[in-house]
Amino acid sequence: MTRDSRLLAPLLVVAFTAIGGVVRLLVLHDSLFADELSTYWVVSGRSFGGVISTVHTDAEITPPLFFALSWLGTRIDFTAEMLRLPSYVAGVATIPLVYLIGARTVGRWAATVGTALTAFAPFMIYYSTEARGCALMLALALLSTLAMLIAIDGRRARWWVLYAASSCGAMYSHYTAVFFLAAQFAWLLWAHPEARRALVLANLGAVIGFAPWVTGLIADLNSPTTKLLGLLAPFTFASVRVSLEHWSIGYPYQFVGLGSVPGPVGLALIGAGVVLGVIAVAARGSLRPFFQWALADRGLILILALALAAPLGEAAVSLVGNDVFGTRNLAVSWPAAALLAAAILRAGREPLRIAAACLAIAGLGVGAALMLKSENQRTDYRAAAAFIERSSTSRDVVIDASVLSPGPVSGLDAALGQSHRVLRAGVPQERDHPFGVFDQVLPVPEVVHDALAEANGGRVFVVSLPGGERVPGRVFTYAQLTNAIAAQLQGAHYQPVETQNYPGIIPVAVNTFEAER
């Protein structure tokens, strides 16, 4: 490799990190959505100790590090952006970490390609802007790998300390880190016998550091939520295939199809890159040198082990226990998979391999751009709340018929705050605990009656989801729920006067009702 090419790679990494950071910053402003609402509930209105004790119960099934950092961020300002700040910082840091690991394992060219894929992948962008622990786990797991590789070369204690601390931190961020950490532990035992003593001592330190949370881990493993998630994502061929598709090139949520993100153009570019990559490798002629290199290269074997760690580990667990194979849970292996793909492509003939890499990067880049379109952003509760704030008075009442998650905070709650009385329809009214099977759901007529009594002649805003999605745990859809509310209001001499629609991955609408004059 020439001196110019050695200088070019770091410059490209800086550029990819900057662009990836800007894209993530733009997505960071989306409304809070889905599991983020659990984080909002855990962090809001609690002391630091209250956050940790709440996460320790089975009300939340992930470990506490992200929640602690998110709580610290919201001391500056309690906004969605500050709630997501740890993920954003970790997500941006992941981009150069991929390069640093790749440069030590699969070479600078493959490391640069893997870095670009990481910067532009919709999957990685989403988790870099989610108020949950996935991005933090990813950054800490990669840091542990980098520290391990440096420790092997330099044999200095401080790098083993960093390896132990970051491994422990990864486990405190998300339990699925265990598959990744186990793979790199096994690789080091095999590849570097001379480092076994330091490896065992470092991992013993990490285990001791995690030991105080073992009771929380036990509570999470026995939580009804863990079993429910397994039922929602059964370990079947169809489910595994879709999870792998969305993990590799798509959006984490499966109701946002690959036709939306990365879209037809993105899919065509990625497909062309894959085909051209195969041709580039085949153009080398005999594949024997490639396989000989692959079997002899310890760095490549490490990347292969890390790329397969989550898919194979979760498949094994799902075969004997709870179904844990899902798009989100595969996250920890994504950067290694990107480096593995780039390393395989590296064996191809130039300039075909360069063209193939550019096509794949461009395809993911199209997906990244599509994430900025309003219809591919999280459900826009912020816009709905802003409309209510502009249009309402203190006596007006809101009926929330758009609760997507199992509580206790809805997307509208997080966006609207406590400035209005909000009654829920279709789900329990409780906001002090996650929904349970014994929580009462008020009938629609009772919800409307209470809303009208509270409004006392004022307006009623009904926030709804106009699509055909089914209300959690109910046999009716959101559209049917909204129609039932409208019928009750009209029966009480309230008429619809305005409807505002806001696009998103699940569109939301605000329907305004006024009393007849």
**Burial profile 132-168: b = 16 or more Cβ within 10 angstroms, e = fewer:** bbbbbbbbbbbbbbbbbbbbbeeeeeebbebbbbbbb
Looking at residue 177, its pLDDT comes to: 97
- The token pair at 33 is 């959505």
Taking the whole predicted model, whether its pTM rises above 0.85 is answered as yes
Name, of 33-47, 164-178, 293-307, 385-399, the range with top average pLDDT: 164-178
Q: What is the pLDDT of residues 12-37, one digit of tens each?
A: 999 999 999 999 999 999 999 989 99
- Domains of the chain with bracketed CATH: 3-28+84-212+231-376 (no CATH), 381-515 (3.40.50)
Looking at residue 162, its pLDDT comes to: 98
Report the pLDDT averaged over residues 306-315: 96
- The token pair at 490 is 């009209």
- The token pair at 55 is 């996460």
Report the pLDDT averaged over residues 416-445: 86
Report how many helices (DSSP H) and strands (DSSP E) the chain contains, helices first. Answer: 24, 5
Q: What is the pLDDT of residues 88-133, one digit of tens each?
A: 999 999 999 999 999 999 999 999 999 999 999 999 999 999 999 9
CA atoms within 13 A on the CB side of 240: 14
Report the pLDDT averaged over residues 198-210: 97
Q: Give the chain's radius of gyration (CA, Å).
A: 25
Instruction: Check pLDDT > 80 for residue 475.
Output: no
Name which of 77, 70, 74, 84 is nearest 31 in CA terms: 84
| Residue matched to tokens 């705050």 | 417
